[in-house]
Each structure stands twice: as structure tokens, then as C-alpha cells.
Chain A
Amino acid sequence: MSDSRVLFDLPGPRARRRQRLGSLLGALLVLVLIGLALWRLGSNGQLEPERWAILFDPSTNVPQRLLEALGNTLEVAAVGMVAATALGALLAVGRLSDHAWVRVPVVTVIEFFRAVPLLVLILFCFLFLPQVGVTLSAFGALALGLTLYNMAVLAEIFRAGIQSIDRGQSEAAYGLGLRKWQVMTFILVPQAVRRMLPVLIAQLVVLLKDSSLGFIVGYMELLRTSRSLVETLNFSFGPRYTFQLYVAAGLIYIIVNVLLSQLAKFVESRSRRSPKTTAAPTDLATGAAPGTATGPGPAGAALLGPGRPGEES
């Protein structure tokens, strides 16, 4: 049902009038609610331009701190992304191994790290590892936690991608006399990478979002920074700028993530256009709308097969 319009008849003149009226009333209702919220904000003095100006005034050091915090967020996410992708690829290879003594431990590792909440992993790195002699900063604990969790998820994505390649490809390659590592590196991986790129990027967006858990272990990412800014500013001015700073941190997160999601959509639509990959059945649906790769959408679900739907956190 790629076109949802099969669900209803095209509205006639009366139905269209009714729908327009309904939409108008609904829009009015939403506007009234927004207005109400703004009015409450205004009557609490939160909308004074002077309060928002602090976000853009370099002399208060606020924009610099927020920028630095964004840098910190991106830094920990980047470290996590690179490490998780590398380790995930390694684990996926191990999982596809012909030798049970490699496969079984790797499967155990993957399943364990996928089943444990990310926050518990981060706390484990933060609280337990120092006890056994591995001293980690908040950055290290956060990066290690993100890496451990996402490498397991990515390993499953890689495995599903490689297994989704038509069996004839590897059979033909073996028939030509290639060895297993040659089949992998020359035949399967190049095809699999193109196919799983959208899901991969979607998972990396999830990783970026999850870096906000640094708030709980005290890493100076966006949320924690705005909290500490609020505390310092409260000290000198009273609780004047609390709301503005939190809104700023939230908005920065949303903007960065939307940008990354757009990248995922773009890559997905490109790979869908490409003649090399369009022949593949990319979906559990007959034709899903584009842009559903983030989270357990159809693209993720299809690639990962019925038993291994996409992951989100």
C-alpha cells in the first residue's frame, strides 16, 4: 500500500468543505494552546528579549560555553561512532565465521551488550572499572559505554547486510575459485555496505542522541553544560536564565539530529535510485515511504530480517 490514498475516496465538494472547516478549527485550537503557553511564559517574564539575549552575547561567555559543549557532544559521539563501527565490523566477521569456537563467544558478546541498558553500561565503565584499576574520565566512560553498546547493534546490522546479499553472488565467487576472505572483501562487503548505509547512519544518529546520557555521569555535554551555566548564573542573577538555556540546549540537539537524519534520508534515496541496488528487495513492505530508516522503521526491519528488527534507544 505504497500510496495511502487507496484507503479513502477522493473527497467530494461537501466533504472537502467539511475537512477544511475541521482543519481550520483544529489549527485554531493548536494556535490557542500555543498562545496559552506563550501567555503563561510571558506572564512569568520568560519572553523578555533581554533574557534571550544572553544566548547570543559573547561577553557573558554563554555562547562560547554552549559551542564548546556542542563540540564535546560531537567529540564523544565521533569517538563512539568510529570505535563502534570498527569493532562492530570485527564482531560481524566473527559472527559469520565457520568455526564454532569463534562464533559462539562472539554471539554471546553481541547478545549480552544488546540486552543491557546503555546507561547501566556507562555506569559500569564509570563506577566499576576504576575499582579494578582502569581509571576512566567521564569522557572515557561515556565513549566506552557508547562503543560497547553500539558495536553490538552495528555488528547485527553488518551481519544482516552481508546475509541479505543474494546467495548466487558468493556461490559464483566460490565457483571462480576465490577464497573465503576474498569472497568477503571483494564480493559481499562492497555490495552490503551500499545496502546498509541508511540503517548505519540511522544508528549513528541514535548514538549521537545517546551521548546526552553523559548528563548523568557528569560529562560536560550540552545538557550538563547548560545545567552548570544555569547554576553559575543563578548564583549571580537568581533563577533568571534557566528556561532559556535549557531551550537552547534542546534546540541544538534537535537541529544537529535533524541534519544527520536528513543525511540518512538523502543517502537512502540515492541508494534507491542507483541501478545497482534497486533490484534488491529492500523492504518488508511493498514500498515504504522514504525516510523511515531512523529507528525500527521498515527499512531497518527489512534489512535485518523478520527476527532482527532495527534498534533504537
Chain B
Amino acid sequence: MSFLADNFPLLRDAFLTTLSLAVLSGLVALVLGTVLAAMRVSPIAALRGLATFYVETFRNTPLTVVFFFLAFGIVYIDLQFPSRFITAVAALSLYTAAFVSEAVRSGINAVPPGQAEAARAIGLDFRQSLSTIVLPQAFRTVVPPLGSVWIALAKNTSIAAGFAVTDLTAVLQRLANANADELALVFLAVVAAYLLITLPSAWVIGVLERRLAIVR
């Protein structure tokens, strides 16, 4: 056990890196995904097409490939992210936004049409009816799918390890190379750290779902 105590600062920093990767990309993806979902139901055909193209592209691209392009590809158009961490946040949020958008859109579809018709009837325009009537109700129904997107995102942060971000998985590889005799313990610690994020999340999602569910 002294081995874990020795490496505690390393593991703690890695845990915080993983957590902040997940939280930051989750927030960016939530905003971007909501905007994309709004674009997909908007009156303007060009916006609908653009958002559909984005979602289809990113849903069919492996996350590793997205990482790869942001890390090694965009230098060819003379762009560069300031740090590896920001590259990882960008890749994770761009990828996850496509899934968020699909979840939010399914929620928008689940709002009874009468709500939007009533909103239009009292003279709200598209932006007003979407932001004050439809989206607040949509978000309440999409807690479970959004929750599973969040948990998938928390697990997906592990791919950043392949692109020089010192997260839990990177520390796992490093410790595994240095301490071949303690390998089981290393895996145990890292898996426990991931569970420390995913299990409470699953619990919170369950509570939120029960609290926010709309009884119709």
C-alpha cells in the first residue's frame, strides 16, 4: 500500500486533470450541442443542413481520429492550440456536441406540439418560443440520455492519454511501466478513480431524472 501513498500526488493530479477535462468539455459540448439542436429545428434550411452535416460527420468519426486531426492535422493550415490540454478539450467537446445535439433534439421532439402551437398563437417568434417554451421542457425529458452522454464523455477522456495529456490513463501507463510488480494495484487505483466520477454521476442523474420528470 505504501506504493499508492508514494504516488498519491501523481494520481490526485491526474484525477483532477481527468475531471477538469470532462467538466470543461461537457460544458462546451452542452452549449454547442444545444445550439446545433436549435439549428436543426430552425426555419432556415441552410442552418438545418449545416447542423445535420456537422452531426453526421462527427458521429461517424472515431474520437481518436478527431484527436489526431486537432493534434497533428491543423498545423497544416497554420493553426495551433495553445496547449495539449486545450486540444483535448476541443476534440472532446466537438465530438460530444454531436451526441448532445441528438439528445436535445429528441427532447424537442418529445414536447407536445400543442405547446409550440400555443406559443405561436400568443405571438412568440421562433427564438422566443424555443427558448422560453420548448427548450425548458425538452431539457427535463432528456436528463437520462444527456446523463449517459456525460458518463461516456468522462470515460472518453481516457483517449487524451494517447495525445500527451497527463490524465488518469496516462498515469496508468507511466506507473505500469515503472512498477511492473505492482501492476494489479495500479489498475485498481485508476479504475477506482474513474468509478469515483462515473458512479456518483449515475446516482445524481437518477435523482435528477426523478425530480425533473414531467408527469403527463
Contact = CB atoms under 8 A, between A and B. Distances in A.
Contact of A301 (B106, B155, B191, B194): B106
Contacts of A46: 76
Nearest to A313: B152
Interface string A246-262: 11011001100110010
Contact of B109 (A8, A258, A285, A294): A285
Contacts of A213: 64, 159
Contacts of B60: 205, 209, 253-254, 257-258, 261, 294
A246 B73 contact: yes
Interface residues of B, number: 79
A153 to B, nearest CB: 10
A210 B95 CA distance: 13
Given A253-B65, A312-B149, A258 B144 contact: no
Interface centre among B63, B69, B107, B152 (most CB of A within 10 A): B152
A285 B76 contact: no
**Chain A, interface SS category:** helix
A288 interface: yes
A52 interface: no
A180 B48 CA distance: 49
B110 A7 contact: no
B101 to A, nearest CB: 10
Contact of B44 (A4, A22, A246, A294): A22
Contacts of A22: 44, 46
B161 interface: yes
B106 A4 contact: no
B62 A128 contact: no
Nearest to B143: A306
A23 B45 contact: yes
A23 B44 contact: yes
B46 to A, nearest CB: 4
Contacts of A279: none
B5 interface: no
A304 to B, nearest CB: 9
B106 A1 contact: no
A284 to B, nearest CB: 6
Contacts of B180: 131
B144 A301 contact: yes
A284 B173 CA distance: 42
A146 B147 CA distance: 22
B102 A1 contact: no
Contacts of A242: 72
Interface string A223-244: 1000000000000000000110
B62 A123 contact: no
Interface string B67-99: 011001100111000000000000000000011
B19 interface: no
Given A6-B117, A313-B155, A261 B172 contact: no
A308 B157 CA distance: 22
A288 B104 CA distance: 12
Interface string A27-62: 100100000110011001010000000000000000
Given A124-B187, A216-B161, A257 B102 contact: no
Contact of A243 (B43, B57, B73): B73
Given A1-B113, A309-B145, A309-B148, A44 B78 contact: yes
Interface string B194-214: 110011001000100100010
A128 B184 contact: yes
B38 to A, nearest CB: 10
Which residue of A7, A124, A127, A286 has the most chain B CB atoms within 10 A of its CB atom? A7
A249 B112 contact: no
Interface stretch (B9-17, B23-31, B126-134): B126-134
Contacts of B213: 306
A90 to B, nearest CB: 24
Contact of B145 (A2, A40, A310): A310
Nearest to A40: B77
7 contacts: A7-B116, A23-B47, A37-B77, A40-B76, A115-B202, A306-B209, A313-B155
Q: Which 3 A-B pairs have the closest CB atoms?
A: A298-B106, A23-B46, A212-B62
Interface of B: 40-47, 50, 56-57, 59-65, 68-69, 72-73, 76-78, 98-99, 102-103, 105-113, 115-117, 120, 125-126, 129-130, 134, 141, 144-145, 147-149, 152, 155-159, 161-162, 169, 172-173, 176, 180, 183-184, 187, 190-191, 194-195, 198-199, 202, 206, 209, 213
Interface of A: 1-4, 6-9, 11, 19, 22-23, 26-27, 30, 36-37, 40-41, 44, 46, 115-120, 123-124, 127-128, 131, 205, 209-213, 215-216, 223, 242-243, 246-247, 249-250, 253-254, 257-258, 261, 284-289, 292, 294-298, 300-301, 306-313
